[in-house]
């Protein structure tokens, strides 16, 4: 699952929060592992992702950009549709966001 390794935000946020709150002690280099455990019809799948200071720096950068958008009081925000959750099945805003353009799947 190279996609999770490259783009997953959940592992970065959870690992960062666990370190910051003292729930876990990071390695001397500031890194830690995050383990996904997914149950499905074929059994259990485990995926361990390493997360460290470089991931946490990127997370901080993303959050700072969001804070600036919030503080700007914008009426419209940038849109992203690069994930499976951007769909009528998963997003309650679909009908007045991407779905409003007439796209169907």
Regarding whether 58 and 22 lie in a shared domain, the answer is yes
Same-domain pairing of 31 and 58: yes
| pLDDT given at position 98 | 93
Instruction: Yes or no: say if 51 and 36 are a contact pair by the CB < 8 Å rule.
Output: no
How much is the pLDDT for 103? 87
Range of the domain at 58: 2-74
- pLDDT-derived band at 54 (thresholds 50, 70, 90) equals very high
Total domains in the fold of the chain: 2
Q: Does 33 share its domain with 54?
A: yes
| Residues 41 and 9 occupy one common structural domain | yes
pLDDT, tens only, 64-80:
999 999 999 998 888 88
Considering only 70-74, 79-83, 87-91, 96-100, which range has the smallest mean pLDDT? Answer: 79-83
Residues 6+ apart with CB under 8 A from 103: none
**Do residue 70 and residue 92 come from a single domain?**
no
Task: Give the helix ranges, DSSP H, for 21-101.
Answer: 53-72
Neighbours of 62 (CB within 10 A): 13
pLDDT at residue number 19: 97
Same domain membership, residue 86 and residue 41: no
Does pTM top 0.85 for this prediction?
Answer: no
- Residues 29-42 have pLDDT tens digits of 999 999 988 888 99
Q: Looking at residue 69, what is its pLDDT?
A: 92
């Amino acid at each position: 699952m190279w996609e999770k390794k490259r783009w997953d935000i959940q592992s970065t946020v959870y690992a960062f929060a666990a370190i910051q709150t003292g729930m876990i002690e990071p390695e001397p280099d500031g890194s830690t592992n995050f383990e996904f455990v997914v149950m499905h019809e074929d059994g259990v799948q485990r995926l361990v992702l390493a997360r460290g200071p470089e991931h946490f720096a990127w997370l901080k950068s993303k959050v700072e950009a969001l804070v600036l958008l919030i503080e700007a009081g914008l009426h419209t925000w940038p849109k992203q549709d690069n994930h499976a959750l951007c769909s009528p099945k998963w997003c309650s805003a679909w009908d007045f966001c991407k779905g409003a353009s007439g796209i169907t799947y």
